[in-house]
Amino acid sequence: MKKVQDRFLEYVKYDTESDENTGLTPSTPGQMEFAKILVEELKQIGLSDVSLDDNGYVMAFLPANTSKVVSTVGFISHMDTSPDLSGKNVNPRIVENYKGDDITLNHDQKIVLRTDENPEILNYIGNDIIVTDGTSLLGADDKAGIAEIVTAMEYLINNPEIEHGNISLCFTPDEEIGQGADHFDVKKFNADFAFTVDGGEIGELQYENFNAAALKLTFNGRNVHPGSAKGKMINSMHIATEFMTSLPARDVPEKTSGYDGFFHLMEIKGSVEKTELIYIIRDFDKDKFEWRKNIVENIVRELTKKYSQNIEIEMHDQYYNMCEKIEPVNYIIDLAQNAMRDSDVKSKVIPIRGGTDGARLSFMGLPTPNLFTGGHNFHGRYEYIPIHSMEKSVDVIVNIVKRLIK
């Protein structure tokens, strides 16, 4: 049986960085190349009905080996890596028996993973830790999740004395650009519930995420030669600035944490004639989420009246807090926590300050909370993952399956 770290180290060789600008699904050819590799591996270890569709979704199934009536559980991870940093030519190495000191990732470029900036790494003294060479991300988000799921399935296949129900697997493209659930075939997946294996440090269990909206504002002005502009010029950038300063000053990502919501200015592009602002709006509470959208509309209404200039507003919801879909089936959270306990892992139930495919899938009729992969510092050159945490993720997946038969 292949070790989870060996599987992971093979997976990160594939460049699967997604790209929101191509308009394709999958958005990049590397994802389809990796998907084909996974298909062959899944067939080789003995999974059934392995398939790859035109949109790059890999599905596979492990049939039940029991006559008992058991719920069908699914496990899901995504194949793409974030476009925030290159996922090409990933050159990982294993720091064996980590001593608790700073880790030099790249001598030539003086890139160092420092303990004072990453104090949580001190929790892994004595562990073997996989790190980058400082020139790319690692890809634990979410190739670690894939490696853990596949390794758990191989373990179950190689140990047929472990009774289990039907198990569904899916590896998706383009999660990092918000499109991972766009073409997910819930009916074909045919699970009663599922877990994404896409979280961070060991023990994480997540079933709350932001309600999310995207906002684009276009402020129109009037340009006149500045020498004769009095009473005539309307500077769209000034109107846009007034809008920005009218929002609650503390409700920004850099000043919020936990269950706090925010308005996040993503992009500014402006001139006297026209200025565009791109925002995202986030809140866990549905009423506060609606309140935030109302604030935007009220400010726009006031500025339109004040300046007699048209302000174009494009605002649409992106996804919702999956908590409302998980709470009615809260036994699946108990299931995951008990499986962690069986694996000697302390569960850490925390909200996701972001989105997840699980949120969209939950609203598509497939309740899908999120399990840890064990990784840290996703999307950047300081990403790392302790091998012990990956092994514990495999244990938890196996113990979820075992728990369902009890």
Cβ atoms of 85 and 380 closer than 8 Å: yes
Active-site pick, 15, 17, 41, 80: 80
- pLDDT band for position 53 (cuts 50, 70, 90): very high
Give the pLDDT of residue 132.
98
Please report, rounded to a whole number, the percentage of residues in the chain having pLDDT higher than 70. Answer: 100
Dig out the tokens for 204 from the structure.
């994480």
Domain end (from 296, 317, 338): 317
- What integer pLDDT is reported at residue 178 of this predicted model? 87
Distance, in Å, from the CA atom of 138 to the CA atom of 93, rounded to the nearest integer, reads 10
Q: What is the pLDDT of residue 1?
A: 78
Q: Given pLDDT bands bounded at 50, 70 and 90, which one contains residue 151?
A: very high
Mean pLDDT of 151-160: 98
Residue range 237-250, pLDDT digits in tens: 999 999 999 999 99
For this structure, is 161 an active site residue? no
pLDDT digits (tens, 9 = 90+) for 285-338: 999 999 999 999 999 999 999 999 999 999 999 999 999 999 999 999 999 999
Residue position matching structure tokens 């269990």: 205
CATH code for the domain in which residue 236 is found: 3.30.70.360
148 and 272 inside one domain: no
Q: Which of 175, 201, 251, 391 is catalytic?
A: 175
Nearest CA to 156 among 398, 384, 380, 406?
A: 398
For Cα atoms 289, 293, 298, give the angle at the middle one, nearest 5 degrees. 140
**Are residues 142 and 135 in contact, defined by beta-carbon separation less than 8 angstroms?**
no
Asked if residue 59 and residue 93 are part of one domain, the reply reads: yes
Provide the pLDDT for residue 370.
96
pLDDT tens column, 358-373: 999 999 999 999 999 9
Q: Tell me, yes or no, whether 63 and 177 share the same domain.
A: yes
Question: Is 163 a catalytic site residue?
Answer: no
Residues 329 and 299 in one domain: no
Segment 58-79 mean pLDDT: 97
Q: Residues 36, 56: contact at Cβ < 8 Å?
A: no
Please state the domain count of the chain.
2
Q: Is the pLDDT of residue 120 over 90?
A: yes
Q: For position 354, what pLDDT does the model report?
A: 82
Cα 254–376–119 angle (5° rounding)? Answer: 75
Per-residue confidence at 356, pLDDT binned at 50, 70, 90? confident
Looking at the fold, whether 186 and 252 belong to one and the same domain comes out as: no
**Domain region containing 365:** 4-208+321-404
* Strand-pair category, 384-386 with 204-206: unpaired
218 and 233 assigned to the same domain: yes
Does residue 40 sit in helix, strand or coil?
A: helix
At residue 305, the pLDDT reads 96
- What is the pLDDT averaged over residues 387-401? 98
Tell me how far apart the alpha carbons of residues 112 and 94 are, in angstroms, rounded to a whole number: 15
What pLDDT, in 10s, does the model give residues 189-238? Answer: 999 999 999 999 999 999 999 999 999 999 999 999 999 999 999 999 99
Is residue 355's pLDDT more than 90?
no
Q: Identify the CATH number of the domain in which residue 123 sits.
A: 3.40.630.10
> Same domain, yes or no, for 224 and 348?
no
Q: Are residues 11 and 135 in the same domain?
A: yes
222 plus 155 within the same structural domain = no
Can you give the pLDDT at residue 259?
95
Residue 268 has a CB neighbour count (10 Å cut-off) of: 13
Give Cα separations from 312 to 221, 226, 297 (angstroms). Answer: 12, 25, 11
pLDDT at residue number 160: 97
Among 267, 283, 317, the domain boundary falls at 317
pLDDT at residue 406 greater than cutoff 80? no
Mark whether 230 and 263 lie in a shared domain: yes
Shared-domain flag, residues 193 and 238: no
At 319, give phi and psi (nearest 5°): -165, 170
Q: Are residues 142 and 262 in the same domain?
A: no
Domain end, chosen from 288, 317, 346, is at 317
